[in-house]
Amino acid sequence: MLFAIWAVLASVVVVPVLADTSTGLTLPACAETCFTDALKTSDCSAGRVECLCTDAVLYGELVSCAKESCMPKDTLVTLNTTSTTCHLPIRDERPPLVRMAIAFLSVTSVIVGLRIYQRIWFRAGLNSDDHLIILSYLCGIPSTVILIVGLGGNGLGRDVWTVSFDQVTNFLYYMYINEVLYFTQVFTVKLSILAFYLRLFPGTTIRRLIWGTIGVTCSFILIYDFITIFQCQPVTHYWLGWTGEQEGRCLSVNALVWANAASSIFLDAWMLGLPLSQLRSLQLHWKKKIGVALMFSVGIFVTAVSILRLQFLVRFGSSANPTWDMYPTSYWSCVELNVSVCCACMPSMRLVLERLFPRMLGSTRDRLHDSPPISLSRHRRAIRSADPDPTSKIIQSREFQVEYFTDGEGSEGSRKEVSRWETSGRRAG
């Protein structure tokens, strides 16, 4: 990602303050020439520092000249020097970012853990949707670590001129890695939900639509990951090109992230429509239908977060102050990914909540107790032919016994069935 760092001066607003006139002002040679020329044409009669910190017109001329005359590193030095000299406040939004990321990862870890526990507890085994959600969760762990340590530790939530050159390079490097992880995770969650749909809906038409959506989603993963990895030539130009010292070229990152966002929102809307179109025909108790509807309502929230995130993508890839401007995008991307994983785990959470709060949600065990008792012991069934001639009929006797037993708590999930079959047959005559 090649940021126009030298344009950062154009977006800076100097807060008028009374500066210490005894403090010297040392600027890079290119900026010093610009400042001297601007000072000659200025009406400011105070000292150099006072004029710089209080005269907006003078500062504007310095900006216009510096962004044409200075290299990005010199521009950052100029801005750092002037902001320090004028005692401008240092902005730092990292603490709330760290708290948010840790909180969301913790909640997501608990929910995914409960999902796996539920599958093991009911001895159901892991299905394809479980494996996909685990893969998405595993992508989210390094993504969160990079967000906190890699990006937050290298200036995310601060102005770019307050961090070192190495930190700017490291920031762009970790942003590159997190882009690949983001595209992988966001579509893997969708695949997990689609795999769950395949288990939920038996109809031929709906299954064809689901399989078609899976194919489109897999294509998106391959396309976006490939383009993201090789968007710059050479690849290192993504995090080294900002200095203006390395030759290379990059695709429009802004176009890439906007295309991905549009694709993701379209898939979200489509995937919400798939189950809602089948909900009425499902043979479920009304309580279960409400639970399913609530699960899909969480999906609407994920779509809303994705749409909200769009407003912060305007400056993505072309920001003059990347460490500051990428903060809201990174923040809401973390929220979006974690909420989407939690949404995909909602069906499993329903079973866990039924076990924890059976009276509120109505567990299967309660429904069994409400039904008439069934006594299963030994049954004998004889199959006879319709031929009235007893000398030619086939008599088959089949005897079986079914026994159910539960654990100490009587959990439905631990019910086992033991069947013993005894079959004998003879031909009369």
Alpha helices in 122-203 (DSSP H): 128-145, 165-200
Task: Average the pLDDT over each of 1-5, 24-28, 62-66, 411-415 and give the range with the smallest value.
Answer: 411-415
- 183/346: higher pLDDT: 183
User: Is residue 38 a contact partner of residue 65, using CB atoms and an 8 Å limit?
Assistant: yes
Identify the helix (H) or strand (E) that includes residue 427: strand 416-427
- 413/98: higher pLDDT: 98
Beta bridge partners of 249: 233
Non-local (6+) Cβ contacts of 383 within 8 A are: 394, 395, 396, 398
Q: What's the mean pLDDT in 309-314?
A: 69
Joined together, the tokens standing for residue 421 give 């079959």
At residue 407, the pLDDT reads 39
Non-local (6+) Cβ contacts of 160 within 8 A are: 5, 8, 76, 168, 321, 322, 323, 324
Task: Average the pLDDT over each of 30-39, 207-216, 316-325 and give the range with the smallest value.
Answer: 316-325
At residue 361, the pLDDT reads 53
- 410/300: higher pLDDT: 300
Any idea what DSSP says for residue 249? Answer: E
User: Is residue 97 a contact partner of residue 103, using CB atoms and an 8 Å limit?
Assistant: no
On the question of pLDDT at 305 being above 70, the answer is yes
Report the distance separating Cα 276 and Cα 286, nearest Å.
15
Taking each helix axis as running N to C, give the angle between helix 346-356 and helix 286-310, from 0 to 180 degrees, rounded to the nearest 10.
Answer: 130
Using 50, 70 and 90 to split pLDDT, how confident is the model at 390?
very low
> What single string gives the DSSP state of each residue in 86-117?
TTPPPPB-HHHHHHHHHHHHHHHHHHHHHHHH
Using 50, 70 and 90 to split pLDDT, how confident is the model at 370?
very low
Report the distance separating Cα 156 and Cα 323, nearest Å.
5
Tracing tokens 């976006």 back to the chain, one arrives at 224
On the question of pLDDT at 324 being above 80, the answer is yes
Report the distance separating Cα 366 and Cα 206, nearest Å.
33
For 186-345, list the strands marked E by DSSP.
232-233, 249-250
Distances (CA, A) of 96 to 76, 108, 189: 26, 18, 26
On the question of pLDDT at 420 being above 80, the answer is no
Joined together, the tokens standing for residue 185 give 């995770």
Q: What's the mean pLDDT in 61-68?
A: 77
Residue 184 CB-half CA count within 13 A: 20
Beta bridge partners of 405: 416
On the question of pLDDT at 109 being above 60, the answer is yes
Return the biggest CA–CA distance within the chain: 129
Domain boundaries, the chain: 29-86, 93-356
Q: Tell me what percent of the residues of the chain surpass a pLDDT of 70.
A: 72
Where does 93-356 sit in CATH, by number? Answer: 1.20.1070
At residue 87, the pLDDT reads 83
CA dihedral 142, 148, 154, 156 (to 10 degrees): 120
Q: Is the pTM of this model over 0.85?
A: no
Q: What's the mean pLDDT in 73-93?
A: 86
On the question of pLDDT at 325 being above 70, the answer is yes
Residue 217 CB-half CA count within 13 A: 26
Joined together, the tokens standing for residue 410 give 């009587």
At residue 405, the pLDDT reads 38
pLDDT in tens, 190-214: 999 999 889 888 878 889 999 999 9
At residue 289, the pLDDT reads 72
Joined together, the tokens standing for residue 321 give 């102050």
pLDDT in tens, 217-228: 999 999 999 999
Residue 189 CB-half CA count within 13 A: 27
16 burial (CB, 10 Å; 0-12 / 13-18 / 19+) is exposed
Report the distance separating Cα 132 and Cα 114, nearest Å.
15
Residue 360 CB-half CA count within 13 A: 9
Report the distance separating Cα 295 and Cα 292, nearest Å.
5
